[in-house]
Amino acid sequence: MAIEKGETFSGSEKVDKYRAIYYAGASGDFNPIHIDPDFGKMVGLGGAILQGLCTLAFAAKTVTDWAGDPGKLKKIRCRFSAPVMLEDTISIEGAVSDIQGNRAKVDLKVTRQTGVEVLQKVEAEVEV
């Protein structure tokens, strides 16, 4: 696949009610804000929230699905800016902003269904 500057792509992920528990088992992140809805409410989050790195993983998956090969993703970074609640739908929009040598820079916008950006300054580098 030839990647060109200005190219866009998108994806979405529905966060099921067990996703934070599955991710906790895989990552070891059993912080109660992720797995105990009552604790999440007690600390003002409105319930259990998804681990930020799981949200970033959804963004990375969208990039690798578009690129066609997980090995092409060379770098990804972000700023975690808002919580993702269980049963939210995450939307990921990507755009190739630059190509230098064998790397394409991809800017991503990651939002929940309310339009709130849950990750900001999301940038990925993909091998072309």
Catalytic residue among 34, 35, 40, 92: 34
The one catalytic residue among 33, 35, 40, 52: 52
52 in active site: yes
**How far is Cα 119 from Cα 101, in angstroms, rounded to an integer?**
27
Q: Is 94 a catalytic residue?
A: no
Q: Considering the candidates 29, 36, 99, 107, report the single residue annotated as catalytic.
A: 29
Told to judge if 38 belongs to the known catalytic residues of this protein, a careful annotator would answer no
User: Catalytic residue at 33?
Assistant: no
Active-site residue, from 33, 35, 40, 49: 49
Q: Are 68 and 96 in contact (CB under 8 A)?
A: no
- What are the residue numbers of the active site? 29, 34, 49, 52
